[in-house]
Chain A
Amino acid sequence: MTDSTGAAGAGEQVSAAAEQLGFSSKADVLAKSQEFWNPGKTRFWMGTGVDLVIDRREGYYLYDMSGRRLIDVHLNGGTYNLGHRNPEVVRAVTAAMGHFDIGNHHFPSMARTALAEALVRSAPPGLTKVVYGSGGGEAIDIALKTARHVTKKRKIVSIIKAYHGHTGLAVATGDERFSELFLADRPEEFPHVPFNDLAAMEEALRGRDVAAVIMETIPATYGFPLPEPGYLEAVKALCEQYDALYIADEVQTGLMRTGELWGITKHGIAPDILVTGKGISGGMYPIAAVLLSERCAGWLTEDGFGHISTFGGAELGCIAALKALEICSRPETRSMVHYISDAVGRGLRDIQDTYPDWFVGIRQNGVVMGLEFDHPQGATYVMRRLYEGGVWAIFSTLDPRVLQYKPGILLSADQCEELLMRTATAIGRARDDAARDGWRGGSPARRTTAVPAAAAVPPAASGVSADADGAFVTTRNGRRVPVRTTVPVRKAVTR
């Protein structure tokens, strides 16, 4: 084992996998990653002190190339809901490789049909057909295209700071950071309204020229602000009133993460379209799916070749998804999620009692959790201390005050206890770090689980979100800490 910095050079023992790929050390990987892959991302993480190159992975554990173990509560938005390399999914896919491959997307297929039936049976009432994509972004595009086809209208309403992916239409529903970069923003067709603001939503819909409202049941990348009770229900009612479709983006809230298979069912909403991705892959083979109501599914009869995707609904992905759906649907799994949600929620509230001025909010619905800190970059501080302490959780790209904290749905009781202990320590240390950097606990001590309406998000926080990749300075004691600024400073780290 090397030291935790992973900075060991020649003579470092690397895994068989690294050896097979021709890497002699972690430094070697990092150097080539910058040269051949993505210099911005690679340098960003090196700059934050999160010097992670994931090597082995097993259950809810990740192992850095240095051998250091991390509990994964990032899970890539639920992709690793069932743990990394879940043995059941591995077995299903491995066995399937003896018979299936990606398949021919033009033809009826056993795997695609079986998964479609399983999805429809699992879904809220009214969803009757399934279209596949190779990833969540494509699935969102399918949903938006479908809405336009059905309503013969172009406008798609989403919320400010929404995140539905980076493909052609999906990216236009989201934050300008990602759309403007590629000149893909289309404000006239993609109006954004503040979250939890019904008046704004009604204003956007009033003209009856909107094809659909697309909503994450809980906006993940925005730090899981919770919909106020009645908000989503009212949005659905507005959609009905103004003849717009309701698209439930359940990519991060589906598959039992809220303690029900689909988060939207906790609101009693029967969406016109439901999108699932990430976790449905079992973390083993990319796949995403769009579930359509009978009304929306017309184009599948009219022109079944209307959307073509070679990898969409790849048969190996369907096998992985069938297994993932089966595991998520077990009564044992649902029960465990309720236990985990209860245990982690209690544990976090205890931690909050210790640091009420710093750890100011817990947004929780099942194992979907956002931890709110009293600092524009609070989650970045905590993320770094968690990483040092053996836990991997990521800040919310579009609101770095909030840490995304996403325990797995099959986490054991012991793992929960260990996770909470590590988390308590890291939150305390991060508070000390912030204090050293001048944070004085500006907000009055409060325990809040309330959702800030989007309008209530301070402009400063919004500005900072635009540089979620962050900028860092080195303090006297050699630690790198984030610069708090509203000026985009991405160049500062891509030096």
Chain B
Amino acid sequence: MTSGLLDGPFGDAVLTEPAGVPRGRAMLERAEWAARAFARYDAATVDRILSAAAAAGAAHADEFARRAVEETGFGVAEHKRLKNLACSTGLLEAYAGHDFVSVRVDHEAKIVEIPRPAGVVLALTPSTNPVATVYFKILLALMTRNAVVVCPHPLARSVCADAARIMAEAAVAAGAPDGCVQWVDEPSVPLLNALMSDERTDVVVATGGVQVVRAAYRSGNPAIGVGPGNVPVLVDATADLAAAARRIVDSKSFDNSVLCTNESVLVVEEACADTLVTALRRAGAHLLTEDERDRVRDLLFPGGVFDTSCVGRDAVTLAGRAGVRVPAGTRVLLAPFDLVVPEEPLAREKLCPVLGLVRVPTVRSGIDTARAVLRISGAGHSAAVHSTDPATILAFGAAVRVLRVSVNTGASLGGSGLETNLAPTMTIGTGFFGRSSVGENLEPRHLVNHTRLAWNADPGVGMPDVAAATGSAWAPPTGPVPAYPHASNTAEAADVLRAAVAGAAAAPREPVTAESADLREEVRRMVVAELRRIVEG
């Protein structure tokens, strides 16, 4: 006897399922079919699909950059255009020559590795870097022969849907399986939760706020979730201060600080602080007075809580809102404060061009301060250091609880691998420090497992030459995937009909009346049309 109204696995939950969930589940089911087919594709076809999707993304980089700014109000269109290019054709270049498809043979170890895609990737994308992240996750999925369902942040849903659509269309036109790229048009929290915990989801790749990321991990499905950043940047007296200042301002103002790798709190050694501030001002930063600082703090953190309407706004706009007069062309607001403690809002992540400024007496105390920034939030994420002293740089790297440190370069594009040789990414793994399963920049290999064929290690036991057989593991599709369901007799009947049509035209067997001649002609035309459809279809 069941206790609820409805028995079976769905139970009474059937009656309370939020809107959009059934459709979302249908997407996952379709994605599963696509993933099955895709997992058998060969490397050359995958390359072709990838190039087509990336080219489509690049072709729309500018349009979608502008639309993203319009839709979300965040960021700088020109910078978004650069990111869109970096995450489309740029990503392709970065992974040129990499192959996540082919079977690899290690004769020495007597191990053969067969790439096995995850299957269905549920990709959660943020409002701050909407299109670039959509591009990034789709291309990663395509590189590794995964199907992907994009679930964009509601604030950016329209442009993200179009971004996913153009890549999907290009991919399918290049031979990808139908439904290998899908997107949710009407994202919502209940829908997201349902999709994350659905058994058809093979891995959740979550980029977004803490709550979304924690929910991904709670879903019961494998998840790659990445936490928020709160990036400390240390400048010591040995640094090239002019260059450091320029790089920090460029990075902090890039896309109005919406990259989660952007600098949050600048920690500077007292001995060089004044020089650095002068250089920062020359580069476009405005040093706030104590009164101005308080007004900006109140603007950003009314009642101590971050006001998301400040995300991605430019420095002049923010200053105006705070009632602070700044020179035209100001790119960054420098907000000095004394102590990095949890009750200081300016020590938290600020996804806008307001940079905390803390002076410290020594490098040692600077490192401690950087650790304090990361105690508040951003553990496992990113930091930066500007110094020419290897000891300082190493001490900093060994002490701060992050997994990537940009050295003598801006943190925004450094940590995300666009200005360093880290893997270019829109998704930063925060590792064990940040309660994440991945500690590196997300890259294609995170979406693929390998079946390892392992021979007996005993040197006496031989291993055949399997290299020749590896090519047959995967194959290009023979037509559209899936094939259109033509009636099974159409192909075979085509031959018969061809003969029949030819025969009928040559020798009508019965006396022909005008009426039946018309009908015959009509039938003949239909048959010919049908044949053409079969032959061309």
Binding site for B on A (CB under 8 A): 16, 19, 56, 58, 85, 87-88, 90-91, 94-95, 198, 202, 226-230, 233-234, 237-238, 241, 258-259, 266, 327, 330, 332-333, 335-343, 345, 362-367, 410, 412-413, 448-451
Inter-chain contact B26/A259, CB cutoff 8 Å: no
Q: How far is the CA of A333 from the CA of B22 in the complex (A)?
A: 12
Question: For chain B, which range describes its interface: under 10, 10 to 19, 20 to 34, or 35 or more residues?
Answer: 35 or more
Taking the closest CB of chain A, its distance from the CB of B488, in whole angstroms, is: 4
Inter-chain contact A342/B530, CB cutoff 8 Å: no
* B483 close to chain A: CB less than 8 A: yes
Inter-chain contact B527/A332, CB cutoff 8 Å: no
Q: How far is the CA of A311 from the CA of B117 in the complex (A)?
A: 52
| Among candidates A87, A228, A362, A365, residue contacting B485 with C-beta atoms closer than 8 Å | A365
- Residues on A with C-beta less than 8 A from B6 are 90, 94
Inter-chain contact A202/B519, CB cutoff 8 Å: yes
Please name the residue on chain A nearest to B200 by beta carbon. Answer: A412
Inter-chain contact A258/B14, CB cutoff 8 Å: no
* B462 close to chain A: CB less than 8 A: no
Inter-chain contact B33/A362, CB cutoff 8 Å: no
Taking the closest CB of chain B, its distance from the CB of A87, in whole angstroms, is: 4
Please name the residue on chain B nearest to A413 by beta carbon. Answer: B36
Q: How far is the CA of A213 from the CA of B179 in the complex (A)?
A: 39
Inter-chain contact B488/A342, CB cutoff 8 Å: no
- Are A333 and B26 CB-contacts (below 8 A) given A91-B14, A241-B519? yes
| Among candidates B15, B178, B492, residue contacting A95 with C-beta atoms closer than 8 Å | B15
Binding site for A on B (CB under 8 A): 1-2, 5-10, 14-15, 17, 22-23, 26-27, 29-30, 32-34, 36-37, 178-179, 182, 481-494, 496-497, 515-516, 518-519, 522-523, 526-527, 530-531, 534
Please name the residue on chain B nearest to A232 by beta carbon. Answer: B526
Inter-chain contact A230/B497, CB cutoff 8 Å: yes
Taking the closest CB of chain B, its distance from the CB of A383, in whole angstroms, is: 21
- Residues on B with C-beta less than 8 A from A413 are 32-33, 36
Inter-chain contact A363/B519, CB cutoff 8 Å: no
- Are A237 and B489 CB-contacts (below 8 A) given A91-B15, A259-B484, A335-B30? no
Inter-chain contact A332/B23, CB cutoff 8 Å: yes
- Residues on A with C-beta less than 8 A from B489 are 226, 228-229, 363, 449-451
The total of interchain contacts (Cβ-Cβ below 8 angstroms) comes to 140
- Are A330 and B26 CB-contacts (below 8 A) given A226-B489, A229-B530, A335-B178? yes
Inter-chain contact A330/B523, CB cutoff 8 Å: no
- Residues on B with C-beta less than 8 A from A85 are 8
- Residues on B with C-beta less than 8 A from A362 are 488
What are 22 A-to-B residue pairs whose CB atoms are below 8 Å? A58-B9, A228-B489, A228-B497, A229-B494, A229-B527, A229-B530, A230-B526, A258-B487, A266-B487, A333-B26, A336-B30, A337-B485, A339-B33, A339-B34, A341-B485, A342-B482, A342-B483, A345-B488, A412-B29, A449-B491, A449-B492, A450-B492
State the 10 A-B residue pairs at the shortest beta-carbon distance, nearest first.
Answer: A259-B485, A332-B26, A342-B482, A449-B488, A339-B33, A364-B488, A341-B485, A365-B487, A16-B1, A366-B485
- Residues on B with C-beta less than 8 A from A345 are 485, 488
Inter-chain contact A241/B515, CB cutoff 8 Å: yes
Q: How far is the CA of A226 from the CA of B522 in the complex (A)?
A: 21
Taking the closest CB of chain B, its distance from the CB of A223, in whole angstroms, is: 13
Taking the closest CB of chain B, its distance from the CB of A439, in whole angstroms, is: 25
Q: How far is the CA of A366 from the CA of B5 in the complex (A)?
A: 36
Q: Name the residue among A338, A362, A366, A448 with the largest chain B CB count within 10 angstroms.
A: A338
Inter-chain contact A450/B32, CB cutoff 8 Å: no
- Are A258 and B492 CB-contacts (below 8 A) given A332-B30, A413-B36? no
Please name the residue on chain A nearest to B518 by beta carbon. Answer: A241
Q: How far is the CA of A431 from the CA of B407 in the complex (A)?
A: 73
Q: How far is the CA of A202 from the CA of B510 in the complex (A)?
A: 14
Taking the closest CB of chain B, its distance from the CB of A224, in whole angstroms, is: 10
Taking the closest CB of chain B, its distance from the CB of A254, in whole angstroms, is: 15
Taking the closest CB of chain A, its distance from the CB of B36, in whole angstroms, is: 5
Q: Name the residue among B481, B496, B526 with the largest chain A CB count within 10 angstroms.
A: B526
Inter-chain contact B493/A228, CB cutoff 8 Å: yes
| Among candidates A229, A234, A339, A450, residue contacting B534 with C-beta atoms closer than 8 Å | A229
| Among candidates A87, A340, A364, residue contacting B14 with C-beta atoms closer than 8 Å | A87
Inter-chain contact B488/A226, CB cutoff 8 Å: yes
Taking the closest CB of chain B, its distance from the CB of A263, in whole angstroms, is: 9
Inter-chain contact B497/A229, CB cutoff 8 Å: yes
Q: How far is the CA of A95 from the CA of B17 in the complex (A)?
A: 12
Taking the closest CB of chain B, its distance from the CB of A342, in whole angstroms, is: 4
Q: How far is the CA of A186 from the CA of B37 in the complex (A)?
A: 53
Q: Name the residue among B9, B37, B488, B492 with the largest chain A CB count within 10 angstroms.
A: B488
Please name the residue on chain B nearest to A20 by beta carbon. Answer: B1
Q: How far is the CA of A91 from the CA of B23 in the complex (A)?
A: 14
Taking the closest CB of chain B, its distance from the CB of A489, in whole angstroms, is: 34
- Residues on A with C-beta less than 8 A from B516 are 202
- Are A450 and B530 CB-contacts (below 8 A) given A87-B10, A413-B36? no
